[in-house]
A and B are shown apart, each in its own frame.
Chain A
Amino acid sequence: MKYVDEYRDGKLARGVAAAIARDSDPARNYALMEFCGGHTHAISRYGLEDLLPGNVRMVHGPGCPVCVLPVGRIDMALQLAAKPNVTLCCYGDLMRVPGSRGNSLLRAKAAGADIRMVYSTLDALVIAEAEPSRDVVFFAIGFETTTPPTALSIRLALKRDLGNFSVFCNHVLTPSAIERILACDSDGVRIDGFVGPAHVSTVIGTAPFRRFAQDFAKPVVVAGFEPLDVMQAILMLIRQVNDGRHEVENQYIRAVTEHGNRIAQAEVADIFELRENFEWRGLGQLPDSALRLKDAYAGFDAERRFALDDISASDNPACECGAILRGVKRPAECRLFGTVCTPETPMGSCMVSSEGACAAHWSYGRFRDHARRKTA
């Protein structure tokens, strides 16, 4: 596969791994957080941990949209789906996310709710067009990458006069989450540097990360989602840490520019506005961290259209998703991990999406826990 295989080349990887081993200082530890679930997935899927020296530890960050969605928002979606005449369209990995009382969209669907799995916002639009008598709601979720398509769908719905289409908006903003993690540094984790988001940065550019490099003195390397991208970013971070530098570097120059995609930004700014507060699973209420539709588009806002109340529900008390999303704990340190909580029966959202830290560790990396125990 052209343009992909180049970034999965084992030989090149071993070269970068050798450079990491050479450049990392054995006298110190490096805790590097990959923010995005896409990076977490690449690290687990390609077994990158095996290529890193023992003192370089990757901390999985909160950049998996499904994982940071609080239980309350799932409960709200369940309420929506229970309304007569509503067809709720959502991405597949949302279906199994547990809401309160063990309910999930998958269960609600089995019980008769009209919930459909779609691959893109535009699929939901097609359904709205084809079935004018249904109230079609798109369960919008994701960081800055998926916001422009949602904006586009609203623009198209307006143009096509689709009065039966609306969006349950859960779009959140990356910089707010990074800021919270940095503010939590006292929490026990010391993050030495960040592998910055890939796709998100294609939209917002590298500029928004400058603040973290400057105010918090942390290096950031924006990197692509291919395994070689991640390895290279790790090497760049280690070099910054060694030199005492804290800059925003761009490893993903093939797709990311300093200021990002201005057209997409303008489109988003036209349709969405900041919410004062939004709850993130594991991180709590974060100010200015999420988007909602502007008043001018209120008709497309499912929350207003169906008069949904905010629901705040608590997580399973034993679930450590919160600590994991802040990088304080590792999946295997949760006592539910692999016993009650598996991808078949997820207790927390980190076990649902393949980008979630718990699911990635369970599906790809748990053999290391046994190996570790054996050598211990």
Chain B
Amino acid sequence: MSARQRHLKLDLAAGRVELSHGAGGRAMAQLIAEVFHQALDNEWLRRGNDQSAFDVAAGRMVMTTDGYVISPLFFPGGDIGSLAVHGTINDVAMAGARPLYLSASFIIEEGFRLADLKKIADSMGRAAREAGVPVITGDTKVVERGKADGVFISTAGVGVLPHGLDLSADKARPGDKVLLSGSLGDHGVAVMSRRQNLAFETTIQSDSAALHGLVGEMVAVAGAGLRVMRDPTRGGLAATLNELAQQSCVGFRIDEDGLPIKPQVAAACELLGIDPLYVANEGKLIAIVAPEHTDAALAAMRAHPLGREAAIIGEVVEDEHRFVQMTTAFGGGRIVDWLAGDQLPRIC
């Protein structure tokens, strides 16, 4: 290779990822510089170390990690890059914590289009900047064609916990209220609308968003009354409430009439024969709140752009069977059970 060739820029328009881009040589350095550092640029990445050092406040920290294997990679309202930022920030935030930094690791399939990779990295950078939570370290691997599905991303996040806060899934108590920050099922429906074998027209966009700002407001007014928060991603509201019921040894009663579901989402679910309660969200949270703090928490949520449609959707009840029961819009009762099997592949 001549010196001249070496300095050729990556062909971001028509080029593809090759095995050499993950082999630790110049090609890899170039990919990292021209795609990832370009997109995610910050003072930590600029130093070019395999790790990044940062100062921490005294107190407690939280840490989380999550893998993203969504298909399709691009969907209305987002893509795997923004999702990998939002999802992990939200996992940190659900502890009541303030997210500080992220790491990102990419597993890329040989032959993946560089243009798409750049789009994903740019979207990731944008999401991280908007959230104020930089990606400060990362890794890239390239695997042979057929050994991955385009690109998989894994991100980790760290954050600090405000003093005195200790949210946990085993803390829901009978009498607590269940608050939901907004409409259900937007993400799952947006993703499904782009699946090859399902493709249908919808105006629904994924709700993918970083929720730490909203959480900050809630913590500020109702910190002591927050028992537990969760973002109902895979498995939707149903899975989240069932998990909490198990972990806290309680039951839930919710009211179908009070659940915010957009008409387009309801219509798409009807068409596909699925229940919006089981459909994934990426920008919503459920908070279990002590009764005396409910009003304050709800007001704080509604004052925030990501919680404008927040509502009290039910309450925690005593129940040795740990059922999530719902009064249907029809006036009858039913269980909202765990989802059995998974007929809808990879939505996060």
Contact = CB atoms under 8 A, between A and B. Distances in A.
B325 A367 contact: yes
Highest count of chain A CB atoms <10 Å: which of B197, B198, B328, B337: B328
Contacts of A50: 331-333
B59 interface: no
Given A123-B197, A367-B321, A8 B329 contact: yes
Given A119-B198, A363-B340, A365-B335, A46 B263 contact: no
Nearest to B344: A92
A128 to B, nearest CB: 14
Contacts of B334: 44-47, 364-365
Contacts of B270: 1, 4
B303 interface: no
A96 B267 contact: no
Chain B interface mostly helix, strand, loop or mixed?
loop
Highest count of chain B CB atoms <10 Å: which of A4, A47, A363, A366: A47
Chain A interface mostly helix, strand, loop or mixed?
helix
Interface in B313-348: 321, 323, 325, 327-335, 337, 340-341, 343
Interface string A333-376: 00000000011100000000000000100111111101000000
Nearest to A343: B340
Q: How large is the interface on B (under 10, 10 to 19, 20 to 34, 35 or more residues)?
A: 20 to 34
Given A4-B270, A123-B197, A344-B341, A363 B329 contact: no
Interface string A320-344: 0000000000000000000000111
Contacts of B263: 1
Nearest to B275: A45
A95 B329 CA distance: 32
Interface in B253-267: 257, 263, 266-267
A367 B333 contact: yes
A319 B332 CA distance: 29
Contacts of A344: 340-341
A63 interface: no
A48 B335 contact: no
Interface string A94-126: 011000000000000000000001110001000
Contacts of B267: 1
A366 B328 contact: no
A255 interface: no
Contact of A47 (B198, B266, B323, B333): B333
Given A10-B257, A119-B197, A363-B340, A51 B331 contact: yes
Contacts of A44: 334
B340 A118 contact: no
A366 B331 contact: no
B321 A370 contact: yes
A14 interface: yes
Contacts of B330: 8, 10, 13, 46-48, 51, 227
Contact of A14 (B321, B323, B331, B333): B331
Nearest to A52: B332
B314 to A, nearest CB: 15
Contacts of B198: 119
Contacts of B257: 10
Given A8-B330, A51-B330, A344-B341, A366 B266 contact: no
A25 interface: no
B237 to A, nearest CB: 15
A1 B325 CA distance: 24
B335 A46 contact: no
Nearest to B257: A10
Interface string B272-283: 000000000000
Interface of A: 1, 4, 8, 10, 13-14, 17, 44-51, 92, 95-96, 117-119, 123, 227, 342-344, 359, 362-368, 370
Interface of B: 197-198, 257, 263, 266-267, 270, 321, 323, 325, 327-335, 337, 340-341, 343
The 10 closest A-B pairs by CB, nearest first: A47-B332, A343-B340, A50-B332, A46-B330, A364-B334, A92-B343, A47-B333, A363-B337, A47-B334, A46-B328
Given A46-B329, A117-B343, 20 more contacts: A1-B267, A1-B270, A10-B329, A10-B330, A13-B331, A14-B331, A45-B334, A47-B328, A47-B330, A49-B332, A51-B332, A92-B343, A123-B197, A227-B330, A342-B340, A344-B340, A363-B337, A363-B340, A365-B335, A367-B325
